[in-house]
Structure 1
């Protein structure tokens, strides 16, 4: 008998339903209080939970456990330990204690620390994040119990992406509850940020991937001429699924469902060979963990079907890049979505306060929000015509923009309504019409009961952008709570706050086409920043304002923030260096030899045709152009080698990154331009790399 989705879903997760079955009632109640933030986990309870987890995991075939964490590499890390424990008589028993559950001790010396730790100082700690469910992961015959964890140094500094995310969730909860209490809500005791991160990706055949050193080492194509056909027919988007792709998606879904990941939506994306997967909302830290599981599953399952999954933001030049749209909202413990407008949003005070707090937060901290999505891959994507520009703006839509404009003049008195759509076909029913259209070009768009942060890159951990978003909104709510708590007339004070925000922060609102040159000029007139450079964006992170912001809410200390900046700059430099060295290798060992061989064949053809009195004008022109491009390529290789040597010799993380941005990247562009033109001329049988048309269209 086949297993249904409902039977399969979460079967490898030690979730609440499983805990209720496996744990004594008093232990389960105690753990629930810990999960709700009411009390810390005591050692006795931890021992009982650990033993139950171990028995459950072993019953599923697990032999090991690991603390699974998110170091500053942006990936995940794990160290596996067996459950076995030796006995005096030479046998073993399977043991797992509460101490082992709560704390792990991986070597921290080789993870990025940004100067927080010296390389010789190895001790680091992992701490169980009990708010994210433990799960069993099957990797072939190896079955392991995974324990989502935070990661810190011996000195207590956060060395990961989860710790500041959890801290930011606490900060947001604290300030949001303050506002709710001031506005008269006495029933909600906790506010949690929720997230539903969409994931875009490409699939190409393994045979092509193995022949492209750039894809293997850099994750993107460093060479590739524009194919005769790209995405201009707009026929791939939401098109019917290729059978191989459908089979791949089916296995991905089933693997994710077993792990409790609510994979819901799947479809063809805009570019050929590009696809998207989207989950249902969950709390932001669980969503971050689930997205890491999703990326890992996509890449693993792709291999089962003869594909390779590319997660890079821009694996192919000239076609749609890949992002990760983070759908963010705030929900109370008694089920209230604080960003749900309701039927009459103009008189929904809680919604209006929360909405205006987000608008204020984004406007006040636009540069920080931009920096949270800055990396080498996203630099190729942001501002292209498939992603938002590097200008941060907020889309509210017709209804909420109208209310916002009313607030600038005083209390809002009305809300636009949607009505019905009649399609003029008797057999089609009238459709309820939303109050506003959507805007796919906006970097930060309100989409009904949430905000969609569209700037996040497809390779990124959502933890970074999420803890920034949580923190800046917490700060805006803190300002509002400070005023409301000392107000004699709360309603009048709230109206004044809304009016002040509507007047001061209207500049961040934009409902039009973010792709146009007119918007770039208008944004500049409004005083909005347009930071295209990753390095420029990252350099601004440790400003006095940002140091004060994160310190105030206990999310990051000054040294933790500075360390993160250094790590991000170092990662950028290393990524560009890998790309440059890979480009040099391909250019010198593959493209240049193939081009020289073709020029030799052309020269032989010219000599042969001329020797018999024929007209070799065409062959001579071809030879001249190929030789000219070979010379340009060879000169470009030399300039790139000089640029990489200069960058490598530069000291200081900022100067180092700037040299790669300003010296190496332009030199790479020259090499690519010459090579891509050669691709269009050299005999296809001689060209050493799979071309775009093959990778994007052949299945």
Structure 2
């Protein structure tokens, strides 16, 4: 066994779980480090408090004079909690969060200093915009960009730093982050949904999109992870043979949580409580050493911030427990990868979940309005929704018989399918003004109050209705939820706007009653959206053939999927809703294509290095041992040695063949990369990396994994899957 591997395993086996007490009530510490409503009441003046609440609830602007009062209160609170610094906390297009810390400190002359934090520092700062991905919006010599306070997401203290959630925009105004388009999309769906809600309840003034994410992840001992160059540099194993036992016994799923992992979870949950992240659920997932954490639902913007913060906190807490958290969608071959299911719904300020059936036919009609419009939105924009969850890492997971396929479809269950079929066939032809609403409402009234358990769940569906919400199951575990939520809320907003226009037209020009008009439009939408509805097994070949007949896209790779983001339809959608202009859309496409190229490029370099500098020398060393053994047998047996060295000779030849294949494929990989790097067009370059560079990975891996089964375990340089996945 290699020295590094030996010491990594020895160190891991000597680990003892940290003793974490779980005796303090969660409710007592929840939000203790958050500048929330209760804290604001204590530290802000009435005017300042009202200004912040108006900004949160109504989107009104906070005046700079008032911002000075807010910053003073925020500073006093932060210092009382031990904070020494502040930062604008934002989410650039790197996929990670970003922060630059400044001290509450300023000199005032005569060797004196004060703690200072004014309204200007709260509202706006100027980080370097050129060093973050910008898709050509900024030149490298044009560094100016701005972070601006988002009062709808409360400030929080992490460690000794006051963190202020902000948007990040270029000097010229274009968004350079995930949050800005999300906020615009949420505003768009709010406006559109409120307008439609007025058909049913004139008192509705605001509609919030809610999000409940489910974060899957792997926990690997940090020493074992550090012994694998591929995990360190790419977040996943580039090679490694499957162990004799994987997940085939299903004994890890929902099993007793290992003591070290449980200690980590307890510590993590305490940190989450302090930060106001409402985590509630923890359990073992399907694969060995895979786990899941899920919160109570939040307003979508806050939920996205919480998830981004959570992933950072998970890494830091893991360090204390000598763990490495793997968020990669497919860190190990042969066992399940990880996703981040996004549970989405719309709720009014009057307390109604618009995707929850009510107790009366009329509230059911409201439910059906938002339910059917959501289905129609997905039907009309399935390629864009697929693009929203595209990444090099998620490509490994989608359609891999463990996660939803790359084909976007909607699962609603047999009961709701029956309801929609009945609604569609209530009458033939278009409804006339004379037709009675009672007929339709009698059908609508058949929807039961609780749909949660009236249909089974479909794990193969990318977008499934689960009782009072839609679950977007295809989002990757590494992803920032904002990307998927921006697209989903945008397409639903657009659909609701179109719906209202059609209903109003029937009311005004056809002199239809409101309920007749609503029903008539919904009935047409049911007909037009049938292609996207699918109740069966999304893993099967039959569905792929059927989806093709229906005209649904099947963009299996990121370069193919991302094209939808810069289609005329998508650019028009985002521009019309004020979410992103053409420059911003095209910039994001460039950034994501470039990231895809760089990810595959890095993986190729890492794999080539491990194969040639770790695997091949080890195989040669073992081959030399076998050769010496054969020589010894020849000395003993003379010309008859072949009979006794037969197996060794076969093994020597097998090893030689694998070494030769590895070396030739690594050379092939290097040349393919060089060719791809000469391509200036980012789309063509990404496709080249996808179709000509990446496939060589599998060939190299195959031969390396075969050598793992042939070479003496004492010599093998890399920590094996059985050690990574089963060492507690």
When normalised by structure 1's length, the TM-score is 0.96
Supply the distance in 1 between the matched residues of 2:447 and 2:603 (Cα, whole angstroms).
52
SS at match of 1:13: coil
Alpha-carbon deviation of 1:302? 1.4
In the alignment, the residues of structure 1 paired with residue 200 and residue 372 of structure 2 have an alpha-carbon distance, to the nearest angstrom, of 18
Equivalence map 1:359-378=2 (5 Å) = 359-378=375-394
Deviation for aligned residue 1:310: 0.4
State how many pairs are aligned. 683
The unaligned stretches of length 5 or more in structure 1 are 421-431
Residues of 2 paired with 1:387 and 1:433: CA distance?
22
Deviation per CA, 1:520-579: give whole Å up to 9, x if none: 111112111111011111123101101110000000101100000000000000000010
CA distance in 2, matches of 1:347, 1:146: 42
1:288 aligns with 2:307: no
Q: 2:413: which partner in 1?
A: 397
CA distance in 1, matches of 2:445, 2:519: 17
Counterpart of 2:9 in structure 1 is none
1:192 to 196, 201, 208: 208
Matches within 5 A, 1:388-467: 388-410=404-426, 411=440, 413=443, 434-467=453-486
Q: Does 2:594 correspond to 1:565?
A: no
Alignment equivalent of 1:263, drawn from 276, 279, 290: 279
Provide the secondary structure at the position in 2 that maps to 1:435.
coil
| Residue 601 of structure 1 pairs with residue 625 of structure 2 | yes
The 5 A counterparts of 1:157-168 are 157-168=174-185
Post-superposition CA distance 1:284-305 (Å, at most 9, x none): 1100100011111111111211
Q: CA deviation at 1:31?
A: 1.9
Which of these residues, 69, 77, 84, is aligned with residue 56 of structure 1? 77
CA deviation vs aligned residue, 1:39-86 (integer Å, no higher than 9, x gap): 211112211110000000011111110000111111111111111111
Q: How does 1:69-468 map to 2 (within 5 A)?
A: 69-138=90-159, 143-181=160-198, 183-343=199-359, 348-410=364-426, 411=440, 413=443, 434-468=453-487
CA separation in 2, counterparts of 1:399 and 1:46? 53
Using the TM superposition, give the Cα deviation of residue 323 of structure 1 relative to its aligned residue in structure 2, in angstroms. Answer: 0.4
Of 602, 605, 610 in structure 2, the residue corresponding to residue 586 of structure 1 is 610
Kept after mapping to 1: 8 A contact 2:411/2:463: yes
Contact 2:358 2:449 in 1 (8 A): no
Post-superposition CA distance 1:416-471 (Å, at most 9, x none): 67899xxxxxxxxxxx9822111111100011111000010100000011000000
After superposition, the Cα gap between the structure-2 partners of 1:692 and 1:445, relative to the gap in structure 1 and judged at 3 Å, is same
* SS of equivalent to 2:340: coil
In 1, distance between residues paired with 2:456 and 2:700? 44
Instruction: Say whether 1:480 aligns with 2:480.
Output: no
Quick check: 1:388–1:442 contact (8 Å CA) kept in 2?
yes
Residue of structure 2 in register with 1:529 after alignment: 553
Moved more, 455-464 or 476-485: 476-485
Change (3 A) 1:401 1:554: same
Task: Return the offset for 1:280.
Answer: 0.7
Q: Distance in 1 between matches of 2:90 and 2:594?
A: 21
Write out the 4+ residue segments of structure 1 that deviate beyond 4 Å after TM superposition.
343-347, 414-420
When normalised by structure 2's length, the TM-score is 0.92
CA RMSD of aligned residues (A): 1.6
8 A contact 1:418–1:436 mirrored in 2? no
1:433 to 1:456, Cα distance in 2 relative to 1, 3 A: closer
Q: Deviations over 1:81-101 (max 9, x none)?
A: 111111122211111111111
Report the secondary structure of 1:376's partner residue.
coil
* Distance in 2 of aligned mates of 1:239 and 1:54: 45
Residue 370 (structure 1) shift: 0.1
User: Structure 1 residues 687 and 398, CA, compared in 2 at 3 Å: closer, same or farther?
Assistant: same
**Partners of 2:168 and 2:377 in 1: how far apart?**
28
2:63 pairs with 1:17: no
Partner of 1:429: none
Instruction: Return the alpha-carbon distance in structure 2 between the equivalents of residues 344 and 515 of structure 1.
Output: 38
User: Does the alignment pair 1:516 with 2:540?
Assistant: yes
- For 1:634 and 1:380, the matched residues in 2 are separated by 25
Q: Deviations over 1:594-642 (max 9, x none)?
A: 0111111111111211221141101111111111111111111111111
**1:403/1:415 contact within 8 Å kept:** no
1:681 aligns with 2:710: yes
Once residues 390 and 409 of structure 2 are traced to their aligned partners in structure 1, the CA distance between those partners, rounded to angstroms, is: 16
Corresponding residue for residue 67 of structure 2 = 46
Q: What displacement does 1:342 show?
A: 2.5
Return the alpha-carbon distance in structure 2 between the equivalents of residues 686 and 590 of structure 1: 11
The answer to whether structure 1 residue 630 and structure 2 residue 649 are counterparts is no
